[in-house]
Structure 1
């Protein structure tokens, strides 16, 4: 499922079409689903229902390894992760290493509501099976036709999302600039602690994906994690990690 399957068309009628991997599809007004995560915590239930309706929102399920959107592809879609994990990569930089991994409540495509001919900044690939909510951002620009009464608030929310994406990209670049794997891991865990708000972290990447995000190999990552655990810096079991000591020391 390429995200062309996530893209709605013609936001000027109650029924609209999109060209997806399975061919032409008819989408009817959406059944309500929950996006009242951290992304839209400031919106009431009624406002979320209206937002879903006026952006012709729908949900799409994906399988592990599925490409949701390709960098440079035409798209006007905001996607919110409802279930599973999505990896973003900047393939134009010459690397397939994921620059970010998105969990439920996270989002991508927030910058696509402003350009006349919007294209995706990153390639998004499913790291696990899951579901995304899909909102058509062309309602922000369609001044003569269908409009959303929450247009101004949605625009403000997209600016907030864009700022979060910039901060995420900056944190990734700073992490990858660290010379040693130990330093990159320390930076990574510190960033995740700030984002998750706890010393007990859930890292939804498998070890191969985790290693790629850090710019190393799976076996090398495994050895370093075990060394940090033996030194009493962290403890971990599968996808659960706990920071035990100050990782900025040494």
Structure 2
């Protein structure tokens, strides 16, 4: 078996490799010789201010991306699950330091791709470089759209509208009225910039009103129309 055969199968669905088949991805990994590190739950994968050293891809597990504001409070920027990227937004910004913390949400392994490996043609002139760059540009554009979406969350005045909007978004993303949130309650509260008690109280009201059911991170939407009404309030 080729050196990176097993790894390629685990990350083939990553958006950075859209359009690649397994053999092409194995060839790319052999060309790049990426670094792979293992982390335990709670470990910091990168810390804001550390030297930036390339794109990160979660191979297994998941990680949370956070930043501290001027008051020292933690602001959650997102969750990266298996097959997802982090660090792509600043990859070619000229910045030399990580702008945020990335912390292992579970035990996980992470692959890092150096920027120079991505943009510079190797001596073999591998054909995948141009496709990789196109995919990266599309990914960065999608992240910009997501950040705009986050601004929408933060601009909502009521806690109910924030929670309702987040639940509907994950329902649409999963394609089902029953789904699992990729974050726990503390992380969800951080993401929406509200207190954990306030968020839990609001979800309790939704449950008691027959709008949702939940068990930890497992959610079932019973009345999506009622959630939509909350967003308009």
Give the TM-score normalised by the residue count of structure 2: 0.83
SS in 2 for 1:111: coil
Does structure 2 retain, via aligned residues, the 8 Å contact 1:139–1:147? no
Instruction: Specify which of 15, 27, 37 is matched with residue 13 of structure 2.
Output: 37
Aligned residues: 222
Question: Which has the bigger relative contact order, CA under 8 A and spacing at least 6?
Answer: 2
Give SS of 1:99's match.
Answer: strand
Q: For residues 1-250 of structure 1, what are the structure 2 equivalents within 5 Å?
A: 32-33=6-7, 34-39=10-15, 40-91=17-68, 95-115=73-93, 118-142=96-120, 148-245=126-223, 246=225, 247-250=227-230
Q: Distance in 2 between matches of 1:71 and 1:49?
A: 32
8 A contact 2:52–2:96 mirrored in 1: yes
Q: Secondary structure at the match of 1:114?
A: coil
TM-superposed CA distance for 1:152, in Å, is 0.7
CA shift in 2, pair 1:105/1:30, >3 Å: closer
Q: Is the 8 A contact 2:163 2:199 kept in 1?
A: no
The CA deviation at 1:219 is 2.5
Q: Which has the higher helix share?
A: 2
> Structure 1 stretch 205-214 or stretch 174-183: which is displaced more?
205-214
Structure 1 runs not aligned, ≥5 long = 1-28
Contact 2:46 2:101 in 1 (8 A): yes
Question: Which secondary structure state, in structure 2, belongs to the residue aligned with residue 179 of structure 1?
Answer: coil
Is contact 2:57–2:111 with CA below 8 Å preserved after alignment? yes
Which range is displaced more, 133-142 or 29-38?
Answer: 29-38
Tell me, which stretches of 5 or more residues in structure 2 are unaligned?
none
Report the TM-score when normalising by structure 1: 0.78
